């Protein structure tokens, strides 16, 4: 156990955007030779009930994850803001989450790549919020993401992103046919202002908490910088 502590600010950069702009972001990552660790498909939550029922809402979203030093991450946020026109209606958001550890090899690879990146710092002022937001994550049973949003919206949530996932828990796993079969879960991610965080979490907990059919767990994660929330 020779764990080492290191004085450094590392960030996880998360981009949530439309699939098309997601592809554009991927090519931006490739062009700048930046590491991109993960891409997933998600969908946005519906904002208008009528449009949702007509199938004209809740578009597909692309979710991209990457890890890099804070300085690089902030530069990249600005670049994404400009090139993907985040902040325009429906184009998406990008934000960073502080990291507290990683494996050495990963770190070396990322540092090597990022050191080669010497960008002129952005001259123009770009609207970037720091330390104003938190990410609320609600993990609920399949089909309840709409209920989560219905609870969260009156408390101040603007919108959210849903990731379909499986529960991985030893005790509830159904061993069948030799496969393990898991319960489907939906993870609803909502970016909220710090001062509204508590109210939103409470509202979700009340309507979709563990006592309800949604069997929800509500978490909040600190967010560092955000672009695209104008």
Partner 1 sequence: MGACPFGKDGGEMNPKLKEKILESLAAVLPITLIVMVLSVVLVPMDVGTSVMFTVGAVLLVFGMGLFQLGAEIAMTPLGEGIGVEMERVKRVPVIVGIAFLMGVIITIAEPDLQVLAQQVPSVPNKVLIYAVAVGVGTFLALAVMRILKRISLSKMLLVLYGLLALVSIFVPKDFLSIAYDAGGVTTGPITVPFIMAMGVGMAAVRSDKNAANDSFGLVALSSVGPILAVALLGCFYNPQNTVYTATEVPQVITTQDVALEFMHGLPHYMLEVAMSILPIIAVFAIFQFATHRYQKRQRTRILVGFAYTYVGLVLFLCGVNVGFGPVGTVLGRELARSHKWLLVPIGMLIGFFIVKAEPAIQVLNRQIQGVTNGSISAKAMNRCLSIGVAVSVGMAMLRVVTGLPIQYILIPGYVLALTLSFIVPPIFVGIAFDSGGVASGPMTTTFLLPLSIGACETMGGNVMSDAFGVVALVALTPLIAVQIMGVMYRIKTSRMKRVVVPAFDGRDDIIEFEEGV
Contact between 183 and 141 under an 8 Å Cβ cutoff? The reply is yes
Applying CB under 8 A, the span of 106-114, 130-138, 155-163, 198-206 interacting with partner 1 comes to: 106-114
Site for partner 1 in 194-223 (CB under 8 A): none
DSSP type of residue 161: E
Q: Report if residue 7 touches partner 1, rule: CB under 8 A.
A: yes
Distance, CA of 160 to chain centre: 9
Question: Smallest distance from the beta carbon of 31 to partner 1, in angstroms?
Answer: 18
Q: What DSSP character marks residue 58? A: S
How far is it, in rounded angstroms, from Cα 224 to Cα 229? 14
Copy the structure tokens of residue 187: 């993870």
Number of residues that bind partner 1 (CB under 8 A): 57
Query: Which residue in 111, 125, 121 sits closest to 227, CA to CA?
Result: 125
Considering only 8, 210, 219, 221, the residue that binds partner 1 (CB under 8 A) is 8
Q: Which is nearer to partner 1, 31 or 169 (CB)?
A: 169
**Within a 10 A sphere around the Cβ of 56, how many other Cβ atoms?**
11
Residues between 14 and 33 that touch partner 1 (CB under 8 A): 18
- Please pick, from the candidates 115, 119, 143, 194, the single residue that binds partner 1 as defined by CB under 8 A: 143
| Single residue of 99, 158, 217, 220 touching partner 1 by CB under 8 A | 99
CA atoms within 13 A on the CB side of 204: 31
Q: Which residues bind partner 1 (CB under 8 A)?
A: 2-10, 18, 39-41, 48-57, 59, 62, 70, 89-90, 98-105, 107-109, 142-144, 146-147, 164, 166, 168, 174, 176-184
């Amino acid at each position: 156990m020779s764990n080492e502590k290191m004085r450094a600010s590392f960030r996880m950069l998360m981009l949530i955007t439309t699939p098309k702009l997601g592809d554009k972001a991927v090519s931006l990552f490739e062009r700048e030779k930046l590491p991109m660790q993960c891409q997933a498909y998600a969908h946005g939550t519906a904002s208008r009930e009528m449009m949702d029922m007509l199938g004209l809402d809740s578009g597909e979203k692309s979710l991209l994850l990457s890890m890099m030093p804070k300085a690089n991450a902030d530069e990249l946020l600005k670049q994404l803001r400009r090139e993907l026109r985040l902040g325009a209606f429906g184009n998406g958001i990008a934000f960073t989450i502080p990291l507290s550890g990683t494996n050495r090899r990963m770190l070396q690879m990322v540092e090597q790549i990022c050191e080669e990146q010497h960008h002129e710092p952005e001259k123009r002022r770009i609207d970037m919020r720091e330390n104003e937001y938190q990410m609320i994550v609600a993990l609920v049973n399949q089909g309840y993401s709409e209920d989560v949003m219905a609870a969260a919206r009156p408390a101040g949530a603007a919108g959210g992103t849903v990731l379909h996932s499986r529960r991985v828990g030893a005790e509830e796993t159904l061993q069948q046919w030799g496969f393990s079969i898991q319960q489907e879960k939906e993870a609803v991610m909502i970016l909220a202002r710090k001062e509204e965080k508590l109210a939103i979490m409470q509202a979700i907990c009340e309507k979709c908490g563990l006592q309800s059919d949604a069997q929800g767990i509500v978490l909040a994660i600190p967010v560092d910088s955000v672009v695209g929330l104008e």
